[in-house]
């Protein structure tokens, strides 16, 4: 907006690097974008639970949740409105939280305004139970709670980063379920729900999620001990290995505690099978500082303590 002269300082156009000293008058000339018309589309939905107030679904990979720039059709919202025409009367079609395009798993959708407001309040008060499963690079040897703020990446604005500059509090805990030669299978719990939270926190932990194009490994540099079958399985896995496996909340109408748990998707099952097979056939035990020695992270450091 600054580059397009929509923001004026004391009535003048200034560069985005201009430093304010205090007492200036800032004028913002807002631009109201045309509202996107949501078209009902017959998109297959796997409904796990439904009553008069909420529905819970299993979101597949390669599905954007809400229309936006570059994604006006073929989204979850388009499918929800086709599934239930009454949802178009609600803000965002009753959607109260999101999963990334290539993250699979459980989501809850409100079917009326009262339920939507109630679910939003539960999310804001951090009482909704959200459990994920992830396959990450490296050997993790202890459970951990990551409590580091997450905000917009200062240079790559489509990404998020661990940052003290503009970050908001973010807490992810993870538990080791299985450890392999090159990977660890973990259970993640969200305390907060920042954009890309688990993906950013796992990268910050030097254990990025397998297949993550934005917060993962720039390229695979296998040691000589990595089997060809495992290498091929990793190369064809084309999304982040992250799945929302369990969801718990208080029903907005009945006030009863409810919880749903689903299975892993087939692609993650197959990847785990390949990883387990390789670890059995080529077991070489623990490796100290494994990730840092054998793999190359993205060029962009996604942790920022201050502006540089």
For the annotated catalytic residues, the residue numbers are 100
**C-alpha torsion sign, points 200, 98, 245, 276:** negative
Q: How far apart are CA 183 and CA 275, in angstroms?
A: 8
Nearest to 245 by CA among 59, 22, 4, 28: 59
Distance CA 174, CA 189 (A): 6
Cβ atoms of 186 and 200 within 8 Å: the answer is no
Q: How many residues does the chain have?
A: 308
Residues 6+ apart with CB under 8 A from 234: 210, 211, 220, 271, 274
Buried b (16+ CB within 10 A) or exposed e, 100-114: bbbbbbbbbbbbbee
DSSP three-state, residue 63: coil
């Amino acid at each position: 907006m600054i580059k397009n002269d929509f923001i004026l300082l004391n009535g003048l156009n200034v560069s985005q690097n201009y430093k304010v000293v205090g007492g200036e008058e800032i004028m913002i000339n807002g631009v109201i974008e045309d509202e996107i018309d949501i078209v009902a589309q017959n998109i297959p939905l796997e409904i796990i639970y439904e009553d008069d107030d909420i529905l819970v679904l299993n979101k597949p990979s390669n599905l954007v949740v809400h229309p936006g720039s570059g994604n006006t059709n073929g989204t979850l919202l388009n499918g929800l409105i086709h599934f239930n025409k009454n949802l178009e009367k609600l803000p965002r079609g009753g959607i109260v939280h999101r999963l990334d395009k290539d993250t699979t798993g459980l989501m809850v959708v409100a079917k009326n305004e009262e339920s939507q407001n109630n679910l939003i309040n539960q999310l804001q008060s951090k009482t909704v139970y959200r459990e994920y499963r992830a396959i990450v690079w490296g050997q993790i040897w202890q459970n951990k709670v990551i409590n580091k703020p997450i905000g917009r990446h200062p240079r790559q604005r489509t990404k998020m980063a661990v940052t003290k500059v503009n970050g908001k509090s973010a807490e992810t805990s993870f538990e080791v379920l299985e450890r392999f030669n090159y990977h660890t299978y973990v259970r993640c719990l969200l305390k907060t729900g920042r954009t890309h939270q688990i993906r950013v926190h796992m990268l910050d932990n030097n254990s990025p999620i397998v297949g993550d194009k934005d917060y993962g490994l720039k390229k695979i540099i296998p040691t000589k001990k990595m089997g060809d079958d495992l290498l091929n399985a990793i190369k064809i896995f084309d999304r982040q290995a992250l799945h929302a496996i369990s969801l718990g909340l208080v029903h907005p109408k009945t006030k009863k505690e409810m919880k749903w748990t689903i299975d892993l998707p087939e692609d993650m099952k197959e990847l785990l099978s390949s990883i387990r097979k390789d670890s059995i056939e080529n077991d070489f035990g623990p490796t100290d500082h494994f990730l840092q020695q054998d793999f190359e992270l993205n060029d962009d450091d996604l942790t920022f303590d201050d502006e540089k």
